[in-house]
Amino acid sequence: MTKNNMVLKKYRWVFLPAVVLCSLFALLLVGYLTERTALNETKTRMENTLAFQTATLKASMEKYTVLAALIARRPDIIKALGEDNLLQGLPTADQLTTDFAGLSGADDVWIVDVSGSILISNRPLNQSPNIFDKEYFNSAIQGSLGRASVVTNAGQRLYIFASPVFSNNQVVGVIVVRVDLEYLERVWVLLQDPMLVIDETGRVLLSSIPAWRLKSFYSEVELKNAKKEVDNYLVEKFTTHSRDRLMLYHVLDKGRGRDFLQVTQYVALLGWEVHALSNYQSIAVQRNTVVLISFLIMALLAMAFGLWRSRQKRLLEEQRSQQAFALRLERQVRDRTHELTTTNQQLEVEIDERRLAEKHLREAQQELVQAAKLAGIGQMSAVLAHEYNQPLAAIRSYADNATTFLSKDNADAATDNLQRINMLVDKMASLTNTLRNFTHKSTSESKRFSINGVMDELVILLSPQAKKQQVKLNLIAPKDPVFVMGEHGRLSQIVANLVTNAMDAVNESTIRQVDVCWYRKLDKAIILVKDTGPGVDDKIKEKMFDAFFTTKGTDSGLGLGLFIVMNIINDFNGSLSIKEEKDYGAVFEIILPLAE
């Protein structure tokens, strides 16, 4: 974690509210400044409009002031009114229209006598109204310029100028010029902001908004304070504080209140207040829009910051989880390596143990082979005793004969008998040698040897037993000797075992015959031991190669013969199988690899 992050985390509870507060403050400031700028712009615009419109208004109205005074100075009018020569000396209504009203654009021009009766009017009058009680008339009678804003019963808004007619320094009559104000408003139609003219009574005389016309401009409260009874007021209230010297009015416009900013100018000539208004709403909208945009920008910035932070956080977490994963992996690898090392050590121990067990097994096997041999010798010993007894008896009688013939000096006959003894001794020696070879413990030395040699020995070894069991033992040798690799003695044991079993098998048969043949087939040597016995039952076939399996009873069978045979053949890299052949019971086939 970086130092910055730690600081951020530590002061997060202060940081967040502080950021929110600062943002709020910034928004308020933006709102305030926007409003101020907009107000200043609006004020300048309003003041310009007001100055221009007031100037136009003044210019338009000033000519009528002059017009009333000019008419009052006409000699014919002075003369007529001065001499009470009333109607004859005065200009006609038509003249008034063409000379004054028509030219100036005034609505009406009246010539009034001192009693207030209208003598001449350029428009026809329904009755002869007397204007004696009118204020503007009184002002004129007193020698000054009378002025008044008037609204007729028909709703026509007029401005009236009344100028005294002097004759010999005496007021002899009054000239009244009535100006229709409506045309002044027309130019305001195009204005963006409302314009108002308020007369001396506080009434809206002119307005660019028709609905506002002829209403009281002052608020209900003001009117009450002024003790004026007016129902039709326009302004509901105005704020007491000024915004940059702009008054904020709440104007009742078409039944609903709207806030307006206002600048005003007093026109002393007419006794009017000219007001330029501007809708405050547009400023508020402008301010709110800027505040909203600022808020959105801030929100976007906050979001961007948030995204950046969360990305940073995610990256940090990823980095941490990667580190944790790497550590976990490292630990797993270490544990696994440790486990494997332990397993390896155990395996090594096991391998050693197995090697030892194998060695023991081999030794046991060899012991077994030896035991089996000895057992075989035990079986054979009776037969061998008989075999030895016969030649021994013969040797004795030949020796006796030789002794007798020597005493009789019959040397030839004695020699013949001694030769016979020699032959018999040789035969016995050969049998002893074979027996010694057979019983000799195997040396595990592998040598090239001929199968024929093995078979020659077997004939000598097994013939006596065959003879005893009355079995015909046939050895069918090939033309050429067949050579195999291994130990001579072990192969002779194999064949001896198979032949002994075969001789046992034919015991009950009428034809008692055992054939042993061997030959070369491609790169293999084949040895067949066939008998005319009953053959091997399928059930027995399954078990006959197991150790200690025998059907011969414990007296005559150990059940080790075929087990040992199978093991030795495996050592020779050969195979043993039982086959069937016509005229034979069991046929054992040994296949061995040929010697190079």
Residue ranges that bind ligand ADP, judged by CB under 6 A: 501-502, 505, 531, 533, 536, 540, 544, 549-552, 557-559, 561-563, 585-586
Q: How far is the CB of 511 from ligand ADP (least distance, A)?
A: 14
Q: Which is nearer to ligand ADP, 270 or 505 (CB)?
A: 505
Q: How far is the CB of 468 from ligand ADP (least distance, A)?
A: 17
Amino acid at 176: V
Q: How far is the CB of 496 from ligand ADP (least distance, A)?
A: 11
Q: Which is nearer to ligand ADP, 375 or 526 (CB)?
A: 375
Residue pair 561/372 in contact by the 8 Å Cβ criterion? yes
Q: How far is the CB of 357 from ligand ADP (least distance, A)?
A: 24
Q: Residue 267: how many CB atoms within 10 A of its CB?
A: 15
Instruction: Take residue 573 and report the two structure tokens written for it.
Output: 């890299």
The residue with tokens 């004795």 is 396
Q: Which is nearer to ligand ADP, 57 or 528 (CB)?
A: 528
Strand 272-279: give its sheet, edge to edge: 204-207, 195-198, 272-279, 256-267, 247-253, 235-238
Q: Residue 40: how many CB atoms within 10 A of its CB?
A: 12
Q: Which is nearer to ligand ADP, 295 or 549 (CB)?
A: 549
Residue 483 burial class via C-beta count within 10 angstroms: exposed 0-12, middle 13-18, buried 19 and up: middle
Q: Which is nearer to ligand ADP, 104 or 501 (CB)?
A: 501
Question: Hey, what long-range contacts does 358-361 have (CB within 8 A, 24 or more apart)?
Answer: none
**Alpha helix (H) ranges present in 167-238?**
182-186, 220-225
- 3-class DSSP state of 457: helix
Q: Which is nearer to ligand ADP, 203 or 530 (CB)?
A: 530
- 3-class DSSP state of 108: strand
Q: How far is the CB of 431 from ligand ADP (least distance, A)?
A: 23
Q: Which is nearer to ligand ADP, 275 or 512 (CB)?
A: 512
Q: Which is nearer to ligand ADP, 81 or 491 (CB)?
A: 491
User: Kind and range of the H or E element at 528?
Assistant: strand 524-531
Q: Which is nearer to ligand ADP, 71 or 372 (CB)?
A: 372
Q: How far is the CB of 513 from ligand ADP (least distance, A)?
A: 12
Q: How far is the CB of 492 from ligand ADP (least distance, A)?
A: 16
Q: How far is the CB of 574 from ligand ADP (least distance, A)?
A: 18
Comparing every residue's Cβ against ligand ADP, the nearest one is 561
As separate numbers, helices (DSSP H) first and strands (DSSP E) second, the chain gives 16, 18
Q: Which is nearer to ligand ADP, 449 or 518 (CB)?
A: 518
Q: How far is CA 121 from the centre of its chain?
A: 95
Start-to-end Cα distance in the chain: 79
Question: Beta strand pairing status for 235-238 and 247-253?
Answer: antiparallel
Q: Which is nearer to ligand ADP, 274 or 587 (CB)?
A: 587
Q: How far is the CB of 448 from ligand ADP (least distance, A)?
A: 28
The residue with tokens 């003879």 is 467
Q: How far is the CB of 531 from ligand ADP (least distance, A)?
A: 5
Q: Which is nearer to ligand ADP, 129 or 559 (CB)?
A: 559
Handedness of CA 72, 78, 84, 85 (dihedral sign): negative
DSSP collapsed to 3 states, 154-165 = CCCEEEEEEEEE
Distance CA 508, CA 531 (A): 12
Q: Which is nearer to ligand ADP, 519 or 549 (CB)?
A: 549
105: left (phi over 0), alpha (psi -120 to 50) or beta: left
- 3-class DSSP state of 516: strand
Question: Hey, what long-range contacts does 21-30 have (CB within 8 A, 24 or more apart)?
Answer: 23/298, 23/302, 26/294, 26/298, 27/291, 27/294, 27/295, 27/298, 30/290, 30/291, 30/294
Q: How far is CA 441 from the centre of its chain?
A: 78
Q: How far is the CB of 542 from ligand ADP (least distance, A)?
A: 11
Q: How far is the CB of 510 from ligand ADP (least distance, A)?
A: 16
Q: How far is the CB of 395 from ligand ADP (least distance, A)?
A: 35
Distance CA 97, CA 117 (A): 19
Q: Which is nearer to ligand ADP, 238 or 563 (CB)?
A: 563
Of 71, 247, 228, 204, residue with least CA distance to 145 = 71
Q: Which is nearer to ligand ADP, 174 or 503 (CB)?
A: 503
Residue pair 110/178 in contact by the 8 Å Cβ criterion? yes
Distance CA 105, CA 325 (A): 100
Question: Hey, what long-range contacts does 40-48 have (CB within 8 A, 24 or more apart)?
Answer: 40/244, 42/246, 42/261, 42/278, 42/283, 43/244, 43/245, 43/246, 43/261, 43/263, 45/193, 45/278, 46/193, 46/246, 46/261, 46/263, 46/276, 46/277, 46/278, 47/263, 47/276
The residue with tokens 């009789």 is 408
Distance CA 573, CA 568 (A): 9
Q: How far is the CB of 430 from ligand ADP (least distance, A)?
A: 27
Q: How far is the CB of 443 from ligand ADP (least distance, A)?
A: 24
